[in-house]
Chain A
Amino acid sequence: MRLLTLLFSLALCAATASYAGEAKPLAQDPAVEARLQNISKELRCLVCQNETLADSHAALAEDLRVEVRELIKKGNSDQEVKDYLVARYGDFVLYRPKVAPSTWVLWFGPFLLLIAGIFGLLKFLKRRSSTEVVSELTAEQKARAAELLKQGDKV
């Protein structure tokens, strides 16, 4: 009986050891994978458009990651890989928009608005502080005012 239990538990262990998970790609070059990660973070997934190519689980993203890996292995520089994809998918595939005349408003607009806002604020504050100071009443005017106030009390 004991032998049977022992054999049974050994069989169970063997069963877990034979679980086949997803096979790792044969030659995973860490330098290539690191570059793939870096470049993919700069690219957009066109299906899930707010995700980077590195993060997206979409089928097209997987295809493009394989494509980028191939390009890296062929000896392309980071810029060449990006240019390759931009030639096919357009500027939108770059996660960070290019700085070009067509995107100057996008990149510099907020800073210009901020500067304009600060400028406007300073002008406004200056105007406030330079309004005329109320002048003191003369002695005569003070006496007159006192009399008028006395009269007001009586009414």
Chain B
Amino acid sequence: MKRFLIPLAVFLVLVVFLAIGLNRDPREVPSPLVGKPAPDFSVPRLAEPGSFSPQDMKGKVWLLNVWSSWCVSCRQEHPLLVAFAKRNNLPIVGLSYKEVRGDDELSGKKMELDAETTLVKQRAAAWLSQHGNPYAHVALDVTGRVGIDYGVYGVPESYLIDKAGVIRYKQIGPITPEALEKKILPLIEQLEKQP
């Protein structure tokens, strides 16, 4: 009888490991940037002259939301952001990610960077006026270069950044109401208390 217990025990241990492993989502690649300073960048703004840099937000807790008009999940997430912006004081900065070259219908065309930037502005502005604008500022990542520095591998993604400019949380995919209630809002409360 004892002889059969050992393989059974080993099997049960394997079942436990399998259960843990199968319940994890391989799409959620943990970001190595959490706990590190937000990478610096300088890109054009949508509605204001000059450029935007994360340095501009030092001293505030803020959310960087990476989005595009061709992204279906961003459309899904957007009402939550609009509602959030109305309720809270937290500034949300939209990062328009590959608005033109990321769109399958346009990606074949090669454009000069200036022309592409103009088209990015048109499309982003049109989309926001149609669906609501929760953003305090909109920064334009025309080429996707800023995305690479932030480890963006899909849209939408959001980063919660503290007053010192350190990334404290990354949301992969759209912000769900659960993630907002359970993870993001408590963390914002905590970060606001910091000097």
Chains A and B form a bound pair: yes
Which residues on A are within 8 Å of B, measured CB to CB? 46-47, 49, 59-60, 63-64, 67, 86-92
Contact in complex: A47, B102 (CB < 8 Å): no
Contacts of B27 in A (CB 8 A): 49
State whether the Cβ of B30 lies closer than 8 Å to any Cβ in chain A.
Answer: yes
Interface residue from B26, B30, B98, B148 paired with A88 (Cβ < 8 Å): B148
Contact in complex: A89, B102 (CB < 8 Å): no
Interface residue from B29, B33, B148 paired with A67 (Cβ < 8 Å): B148
Contact in complex: A46, B29 (CB < 8 Å): yes
Chain A to chain B contacts (Cβ below 8 Å), 17 pairs: A46-B29, A59-B98, A59-B102, A59-B107, A60-B154, A63-B144, A86-B32, A87-B32, A88-B32, A88-B150, A89-B29, A89-B151, A90-B29, A90-B31, A90-B32, A92-B29, A92-B30
Given the complex of chains A and B, what is the CA–CA distance between A56 and B30 in angstroms? 21
8 Å CB contacts to A: which residues of B4-33? 26-27, 29-33
Q: Which chain A residue lies CB-closest to B143? A: A63
State whether the Cβ of B40 lies closer than 8 Å to any Cβ in chain A.
Answer: no
Contact in complex: A89, B154 (CB < 8 Å): no
State whether the Cβ of B149 lies closer than 8 Å to any Cβ in chain A.
Answer: yes
Q: Which chain B residue lies CB-closest to A23? A: B110
Contacts of A47 in B (CB 8 A): 153-154
Q: Which chain A residue lies CB-closest to B150? A: A88
Contacts of A64 in B (CB 8 A): 148
Given the complex of chains A and B, what is the CA–CA distance between A111 and B31 in angstroms? 31
Q: If the complex has contacts A59-B107, A60-B153, are A90 and B148 also in contact, measured as CB distance less than 8 A? A: no
